Amino acid sequence: MSKSVLRTLAWLVPVAALAFWAAAGANLGWTKTTVPVKKTDEVTGITVDDYQKRFVPGVDFLGVAFLGAGILIGASFLFHRQQPTTPSN
Amino acid sequence: MKTNLVLLLALSSLSSATFAAPLTFNFKDPKGVNNAVFKLDAPLEAVNGNATGISGTVTFDPAAPAGTKGRIVVATSSLHVGNPMMQQHLLGEKWLDAAKYPDISFEAKELKNVKTDGDVTTADVAGTFTLKGVSKEITVPTKFTFLKDKLGQRVPNQKGDLLVIRANFNLKRSDFGIMPGQMEEKVSESIELTLSIAGAAPL
């Protein structure tokens, strides 16, 4: 994998993660895999949070994305810049 | 002789009407609505969750609520929060240790400051709260709502009464050996609990 590919991924990953996080509601708390949906019993008046499966990315999700970008940037420095080849006469 | 028998029957029906018998309410809820909500403050986001694995029985006499006794049990494994890693820690060895301590319970022993207004009774319920194997005597302000003949509206073809119990109180996690003195800057010492449960007494 070349330096340019790694550096492209390094900005694509956090940008994509930010876009997904914003579209999912820009949750400023922790990532959730279940969300509460209120349900009320009409006879007793008791309300309960019925947790339903739904992925809601949080700030830890963004943190992982930016950490991944940092790793990709770091990995890109392990590759030498490819020198253009000059034809011999 | 016949007059005496009629008089005896009349007297016994009068006494049963005057002295209502205590009813035993079962809090295992087929509708899955009974719940206990817990909340602990934390810097990024409060730890919010609930537990729905509720069971237990309470004996309540609508004519004499001061004599109420009972025990409510919450299955530790039924506690739930939205973040999966937090969920794992919550039930893990360092926090609630659900594997070793499968139940959280409150045993009501005495009611104080009992006030009744129609079907609603408020009281301070004194009893024993057990969490992570540690038992402590606490007093919980509680509201009892007696719903006569309402069981049939919840469970078809069943006759009986309902008792709704609501309580809101705070506990200190260190009092129950839950990470005492640790991580107080990340998870608050105080746990806010809100109980909303309904029990059934079928005829």
The 10s digit of each residue's pLDDT in B114-126 is 999 999 999 999 9
Taking the C-alpha atoms of residue B149 and residue B77, their distance in angstroms, rounded to an integer, is 33
Confidence class for position A87, pLDDT limits 50, 70, 90: low
In chain A, what is the straight-line distance between the N-terminal and C-terminal CA atoms, in Å? 32
CATH 2.40.128.110 fits B21-202, yes or no: yes
The CA–CA distances, whole Å, from B51 to A12, A60, B85 equal 40, 25, 17
List phi, psi (to 5°) of B198.
Answer: -130, 135
Query: Has the ipTM of the complex gone over 0.95?
Result: no
The 10s digit of each residue's pLDDT in B88-110 is 999 999 999 999 999 999 999 99
> What are the extents of the domains in chain B?
21-202
Name every chain A residue with its beta carbon within 8 A of the beta carbon of B35: 46, 48-49
Taking the C-alpha atoms of residue B131 and residue B66, their distance in angstroms, rounded to an integer, is 26
* Distance between B24 CA and the closest CA of chain A, angstroms: 18
In single-letter form, the type of residue at position A68 comes to G
Taking the C-alpha atoms of residue B101 and residue B96, their distance in angstroms, rounded to an integer, is 7
Angle between helices A3-23 and A59-76 (to 10 degrees): 170
The 10s digit of each residue's pLDDT in B137-165 is 999 999 999 999 999 999 999 999 999 99
Answer whether B164 touches A (CB < 8 Å): yes
Answer whether A30 touches B (CB < 8 Å): yes
